[in-house]
Structure formats: C-alpha cells, structure tokens
C-alpha cells in the first residue's frame, strides 16, 4: 500500500483497483447520490472502470488524486475518501471529501482535509485551492468554511446544469 500521510486517527493512502468494492459502496450512499451525483455504478466491474477513468488517471496525469482514509482504531477499515482533482471545467485544483454514512459527523473530514491542504502546498506545490459544493449541502459548506476557503460565486461548470458554490483559498 502506498502511504500518503498519517493523522492522529487516520492513514491516508493511494487507491488501487482493490478498492473498487469500497468505491461501489461509497458511490451508492444516499448522501453521495444526493450531494455529488448518481454515477450509475452498480457493480464492482463498473466501479473499477469508474476508478480507471477517474482517480487512477488523475494519479498518472496530475500526480495527485483522491485518497482512501483508513481508520486506525478499526483495523485500518476504509471509511472514506479525501483528495485533490484537476477538472477540465475548473481553473484551479479542487479539494473533495466523502465519508461512509456511519463515519460522518466525527471530524474525519476536517482531519483528513487539513493534511491534504498541507500536502497541496508542500508536496504538490499548489498556490491556490478551490472547492465546489451544492448550495443545499450544509455539512460540506461548513467544512469548506472551517478549512478557510472563501465563497467566490455561483457557477454551473458541468453538463447537468446544477448550480454550485465556488470557494477559493490561497495557500
Ligand atoms: C461533507 C462531509 C465529508 C463532512 O465530513 P465530516 O467528517 O462529517 O465533517 P467534519 O470533519 O466537519 O466533522 C463534522 C462534525 O463532527 C464533529 N466531531 C465529532 N467527533 C469529533 C472528533 N472526535 N474530532 C473532531 N470532530 C468531531 C465536529 O465537531 C464537526 O462538527 P462541527 O463542525 O459542528 O464542529 C460528510 O458529511 C460527507 O461525507 N457527506 C457526503 C458526501 C459529500 O457531500 N461530500 C462533499 C461534496 S462537496
């Protein structure tokens, strides 16, 4: 396993195709579908393809991507994801996060994001970080603001025409 970082409660590591069953679970949680979108991934094989076209491509092309979060106190169980992505529709790299439902509201979003923001600056040499979020996602908005990002404007970057809030922070 390729470690990226460690926090008091979490190990942050690169994902591989072995994480496809976890991604299948995460992509079908109610909050992912409501707040991020239904990716229509219904089998482990579809999750593998989603990862090949997403996170694994990002590692190759950008040198960073989304990482898995392993909870030390539960035998390194994978509980969520947090990381960075460069999307063609956005000028700046954005930070993203999602936890399995039973691990929301326990501070893991903040704990992992602080580490990812630090890596964005020191390891990936980024000078600015963005975040995009649906206006009806209070938990994510709260986390983005706790991380020190500032609301810039409403944008509709994707084909689904959903209006999102764009936040930025200089690193
Ligand atoms: C958005 C999301 C990642 C936030 O993750 P999270 O871990 O719940 O967020 P936080 O780290 O901010 O923690 C939330 C609360 O847990 C509390 N908490 C509970 N136990 C804690 C502990 N041991 N240590 C620290 N905080 C703890 C925190 O105080 C915080 O509440 P507060 O902001 O009122 O102080 C999560 O709700 C999620 O996965 N949502 C679905 C997917 C999604 O919408 N992703 C974002 C798309 S833009």
At 98-124, the pLDDT tens digits run: 999 999 999 999 999 999 999 999 999
| CB distance 101 to 31 below 8 Å | yes
List the 128-133 sheet strands across, edge first: 3-6, 10-14, 66-71, 77-85, 94-99, 128-133, 164-170, 150-155
Give how many domains the chain has, as a whole number: 1
Query: Going by CA atoms, what residue is nearest to atom 48 of ligand 1?
Result: 133
pLDDT(150) > 90: yes
CATH number of 148's domain? 3.40.630.30
User: So what's the pLDDT on residue 161?
Assistant: 86
46 ligand 1 Cβ < 6 A: no
What is the span of the domain harbouring residue 80?
Answer: 3-170
pTM value is 0.98
Q: Which of 64, 37, 63 is nearest to 50 (CA)?
A: 37
- What distance in angstroms lies between residue 93's CA and the mean position of ligand 1's atoms? 21
Whether residue 7 has its Cβ less than 6 Å from ligand 1: no
């Amino acid at each position: 396993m390729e470690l990226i970082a460690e926090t008091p409660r979490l190990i942050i590591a690169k994902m591989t195709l072995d994480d496809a069953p976890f991604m299948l679970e995460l992509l079908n949680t109610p909050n992912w579908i409501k707040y991020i979108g239904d990716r229509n991934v219904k089998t482990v094989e579809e999750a593998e393809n989603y990862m090949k076209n997403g996170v694994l491509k990002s590692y190759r092309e950008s040198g960073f991507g989304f990482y898995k979060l392993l909870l030390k106190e539960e035998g390194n169980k994978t509980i969520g994801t947090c990381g960075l992505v460069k999307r063609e529709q956005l000028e700046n790299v954005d930070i993203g996060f999602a936890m399995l439902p039973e691990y929301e509201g326990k501070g893991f979003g903040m704990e992992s994001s602080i580490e990812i923001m630090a890596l964005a600056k020191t390891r990936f040499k980024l000078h600015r970080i963005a975040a995009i979020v649906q206006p009806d996602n209070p938990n994510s908005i709260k986390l983005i603001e706790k991380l020190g990002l500032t609301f810039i404007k409403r944008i509709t970057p994707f084909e689904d025409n959903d209006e999102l809030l764009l936040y930025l922070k200089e690193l």
